Amino acid sequence: MSDLIKKLAFEFVTTIPQINVHRHRYSYTFPFRLKSCAKSKAFREGQQIHGHVLKLGYDVDLYVHASLSSLYAQTGRLEDAHKVFDINSHRNVVSYTALIMGYASRGYMGSARKFFDDIPVKDVVSWNAMISGYAENSNYKVALALFKEMMMMKNVRPDESTMVTVVSACAQSGSIDLGHHVHSLIDEYGFGSNLKIVNALIDLYMTISRKALRSTDKKGQQIHGHVLKLGYDVDLYIHASLSSLYAQTGRLEDAHKVFDINSHRNVVSYTTLIMGYASRGYMGSARKFFDDIPVKDVVSWNAMISGYAENSNYKVALALLKEMMMMKNVRPDESTMVTVVSACAQSGSIDLGRHLHSLIDEYGFGSNLKIVNALIDLYSKYGELETSCGLFEGLAYKDVISWNTLIGGYTHMDLYKEALSLELHSYEPDTYEVLKKHCS
């Protein structure tokens, strides 16, 4: 917990004796303190404040209730969050939204959606909470479908937060046509000067497929002109996004120019150019920028490792991982693990793959769907179907990649009958029992 939150919590608790004197203003102070505790995961301090809430009779306050629900949900105590919600007989959209955000932050989108559907009258904040929840859990298609549903409502209109989330979801899912439509809405609603939206739009036009990029290159240039007009060209992250935009559209000379005129470069500036060069297959240039970074973070390491892997240089990618593991100031994250496990599968490095599997468990990444899918692929490729089945069974949610990977494992071992059975049953209600039968 940060020193600031400790200080705020201590100051708040020590001023409790004077609360009765200034009772009215603490109706606002309680939610503020509770939200601070939730954001910093300062559960103990939040629990102390909850005690004072009960003691002083503030538990009937609607906004205090919502803040308490959010505190418990965001610190992983979902049962307590639900209890606080249930005892509140005067719920409104704020109460529901707090719980939606809490459940979504933990990845429980089914529960979050249930609360969302139960809201009598939804406001833009509740829509945003649900849309961003899906997007943050990589359910981009569902997020965009919900956005379309929101646009059909007469009593609510997207705000700037909605647009940032939706544009980013378009970028991640490759929904270029919808992205263009959302861009026109942004201009229509007057959000074109919002820095976060501008950055998201740049990201949209630099991450879509190469085919789409050729048709949107002009659009990207228009955004660059817009950036210059608004004076955002001094922003470090805008600079980085513009460099990457030009690099990924094949305009490497322009990317280099944008990079060169930025006198305040940091690891982000280098990393975006690394990603741009790597996406075009220029690994020598990418490596030069990587080696020039004064202090590398996990994102820059990931960019370089995934660059090698995506260009089929699996051995070099894995060698770079080993080098990364020797660094004291950086540790692999979930993105690293997905890349290197896949590289192990492609290069035949099963022993290193097993070692990475133990690290994945050690680091607490064992429930990450993308990582588990990569591990299933690794073990399936080398005939260890029992391990693959065990990993598959342990998944709380199985996507189409999970199914296809395991089915591919069976076909790889010439077990075509079992593979066909899995394929036929993969979307039926008894999928778990079918799989259990094959894994036993």
Is the pLDDT at 16 greater than 60, yes or no? no
Which range among 20-24, 27-31, 153-157, 205-209 shows the weakest confidence by mean pLDDT? 20-24
pLDDT classification of 339: cutoffs 50, 70, 90 = very high
Is the pLDDT at 337 greater than 80, yes or no? yes
Block residue for tokens 């008894």: 430
Q: Residue 21 has what pLDDT?
A: 41
Is the pLDDT at 19 greater than 50, yes or no? no
pLDDT classification of 353: cutoffs 50, 70, 90 = very high
Is the pLDDT at 286 greater than 80, yes or no? yes
Q: Which of 115, 183, 126, 180 is nearest to 149 (CA)?
A: 126
Contact status, residue 70 vs residue 103, Cβ threshold 8 Å: no
pLDDT classification of 264: cutoffs 50, 70, 90 = low
Q: What is the pTM of this model?
A: 0.50
pLDDT classification of 105: cutoffs 50, 70, 90 = confident
Helical pair 334-347 and 298-310, crossing angle rounded to 10 deg = 20
- Which residues make Cβ contacts (< 8 Å) with residue 80, sequence separation at least 6? 72
- Which residues make Cβ contacts (< 8 Å) with residue 355, sequence separation at least 6? none
Q: What percent of the chain has pLDDT over 70?
A: 71
Contact status, residue 274 vs residue 303, Cβ threshold 8 Å: yes
Contact status, residue 422 vs residue 435, Cβ threshold 8 Å: yes
Give counts: helices (H), strands (E), the chain: 26, 0
**Structure confidence by residue, pLDDT tens digits, 229-246:** 545 444 555 666 667 667
User: Which span out of 126-135, 269-278, 371-380 was modeled with the highest average pLDDT?
Assistant: 126-135
Contact status, residue 93 vs residue 122, Cβ threshold 8 Å: yes
Q: Residue 201 has what pLDDT?
A: 82
DSSP states of 256-301 as a string? HHHHHT-SS--HHHHHHHHHHHHHTT-HHHHHHHHHH-SS--HHHH
Could you give the C-alpha distances from 265 to 235, 250, 289, 348, in angstroms and in order?
A: 11, 22, 12, 38
Q: Residue 175 has what pLDDT?
A: 86
Is the pLDDT at 273 greater than 60, yes or no? yes
Q: Residue 382 has what pLDDT?
A: 86
CA 423 from chain centre, in angstroms, equals 30
Quote the tokens at residue 282.
């220029």
pLDDT average, residue stretch 262-285: 82
DSSP state at residue 333: -
Is the pLDDT at 411 greater than 50, yes or no? yes
Q: Residue 204 has what pLDDT?
A: 78
Q: Residue 8 has what pLDDT?
A: 44
Is the pLDDT at 76 greater than 70, yes or no? yes
- Which residues make Cβ contacts (< 8 Å) with residue 79, sequence separation at least 6? none
- Which residues make Cβ contacts (< 8 Å) with residue 359, sequence separation at least 6? 332, 337
Residue 394 sits at φ, ψ, to 5 deg, of -75, -10
In a 3-state reduction of DSSP, which class is residue 229?
A: helix
**Structure confidence by residue, pLDDT tens digits, 200-214:** 887 776 665 444 444
Number of neighbouring beta carbons within 10 Å of residue 341: 25
Quote the tokens at residue 176.
């270029």
Which range among 198-202, 308-312, 326-330 shows the weakest confidence by mean pLDDT? 198-202
Is the pLDDT at 357 greater than 90, yes or no? yes
Could you give the C-alpha distances from 14 to 6, 7, 39, 199, in angstroms and in order?
A: 12, 11, 21, 43
Cα–Cα distance for residue pair 270/133, rounded to 1 Å = 30
Quote the tokens at residue 389.
């089945």
Q: Residue 64 has what pLDDT?
A: 78
**Structure confidence by residue, pLDDT tens digits, 374-400:** 999 999 888 888 888 888 888 877 777
* 207 vs 179 pLDDT, higher one: 179
